[in-house]
Amino acid sequence: MLKRLISALISFLMLFSSAAPQLFGLPKKAAKSTLDMDQFTLTWQDEFDGDTLNTDYWSYEWWITERKGGYWHEDMVSVEDGNLVIRCDYKDEPLENRYYDKWHDTIDFKPYKPGYYSAQIVTRDKFEQCYGYFETRCILPAGYGLWSAFWMMNEGVYNVDGSGRDGTEVDVFESMYYKDHWWGGDAVITGIHYDGYGEDEGSDSIGKIWIDNDPYKEYNTYGVEWNENEYIFYINGHETGRLSTGGVSQNPEFLLLSVEVAGHDGIADADRHGTGKITKTPQGNWPVEFKVDYVRVYQYKDKMPKPL
């Protein structure tokens, strides 16, 4: 009931001003325009129908094991009942370090410690695509102090040249706001980053987007249409906004699914981007789970190779 009242309030305010959500710090609603799938053809998909992660499609390899306020570990990933599941939980005993650091030719890159564990999977060196439509269907993890994400990037993100055309981190969604769930704050955020992650970083966002149902219990689809001129973001097929700041990436990008804990150096001690500080009680059922039904990638039909 309270969620319906909040939703009604947002709709009422938007009758008087399209800027009302921003002025009051409220999330925006998706537009009524819908995605035209007739212009695309399917090029890659993972329906997570097996009982283990398909390592022909995904890997756990990344540049670190320690990640913000926790640790990424492959044991936190499973495939169950047609879903990819990335769990987040606190481990009193460190999990075994099995990561291979190809830069240092060692598995002892950053030893694990007691703390919060989650995971990331990535299609790097296995699948990349330039332009098209990229979508996932998922249920968000219901916990304070953490967030899930579906995102894309490539090595050009780190080039500091005043442009995102060589590579842009594209955050199709990040789920930062479970702490607001009790009053109806069922929202995600979408944005882009380029020119590295230091003082020269460029970024932009379309802000917080309201989701009509309960995204922590029900599936929703999150997608981005990427062409030479802009990124067009969607939730459940409805447009949420467009970005082209810094110039749109013109190079292939790989896909990532992840759960991160707010904090630094493996210590969960921060409220990052509105997540609240992580707590196992009284909110949430632990371990917290990010459930992904599928990831699908499409290409524009007019950009597909012509048959010989």
**Predicted confidence (pLDDT) per residue in 121-151, tens digit:** 999 999 999 999 999 999 999 988 999 999 9
Please determine, for residue 13, whether its predicted confidence score (pLDDT) is greater than 50. Answer: no
Question: Residue with structure tokens 């001129």?
Answer: 229
- What integer pLDDT is reported at residue 131 of this predicted model? 98
Please determine, for residue 22, whether its predicted confidence score (pLDDT) is greater than 70. Answer: no
**For residues 28 and 234, is the Cβ–Cβ distance under 8 A?**
no
Average pLDDT for residues 169-186, to the nearest whole number?
A: 89
Please determine, for residue 60, whether its predicted confidence score (pLDDT) is greater than 80. Answer: yes
Out of 92-106, 180-194, 293-307, least confident range: 92-106
**For residues 99 and 109, is the Cβ–Cβ distance under 8 A?**
yes
**For residues 210 and 186, is the Cβ–Cβ distance under 8 A?**
yes
Average pLDDT for residues 249-277, to the nearest whole number?
A: 89
Please determine, for residue 282, whether its predicted confidence score (pLDDT) is greater than 80. Answer: no
Average pLDDT for residues 37-61, to the nearest whole number?
A: 95
Out of 6-10, 15-19, 205-209, least confident range: 15-19
**For residues 136 and 149, is the Cβ–Cβ distance under 8 A?**
no
Confidence band, pLDDT 50/70/90 cuts, at residue 153: very high
Instruction: Return the CATH number of the domain spanning residue range 26-303.
Output: 2.60.120.200
Alpha helices in the chain (DSSP H): 2-16, 20-23
**How far apart, in whole angstroms, are the C-alpha atoms of residue 95 and residue 115?**
10
For 224-245, the pLDDT digits (tens) are: 999 999 999 999 999 999 999 9
Confidence band, pLDDT 50/70/90 cuts, at residue 274: confident
Cβ contacts of 210 within 8 Å, gap of 6 or more: 7, 10, 26, 27, 28, 29, 30, 186, 187
Q: Residue 118 belongs to what H/E stretch?
A: strand 115-118
Confidence band, pLDDT 50/70/90 cuts, at residue 25: low
- The three-class DSSP label of residue 302 is helix
Average model confidence (pLDDT) for the chain?
86
Please determine, for residue 63, whether its predicted confidence score (pLDDT) is greater than 70. Answer: no
- What integer pLDDT is reported at residue 276 of this predicted model? 85
Nearest Cα residue to 144 out of 73, 212, 69 = 69
The residue among 279 and 155 whose pLDDT is bigger is: 155
- What integer pLDDT is reported at residue 18 of this predicted model? 43
Q: Where are the domains of the chain?
A: 26-303
Q: What residues form DSSP beta bridges with 101?
A: 106
Q: Would you call 301 exposed, middle or buried from its count of C-beta atoms within 10 A (0-12, 13-18, 19+)?
A: exposed
Confidence band, pLDDT 50/70/90 cuts, at residue 85: very high
- What integer pLDDT is reported at residue 17 of this predicted model? 43
Nearest Cα residue to 60 out of 252, 265, 257 = 257
Q: Would you call 96 exposed, middle or buried from its count of C-beta atoms within 10 A (0-12, 13-18, 19+)?
A: exposed
- What integer pLDDT is reported at residue 21 of this predicted model? 47
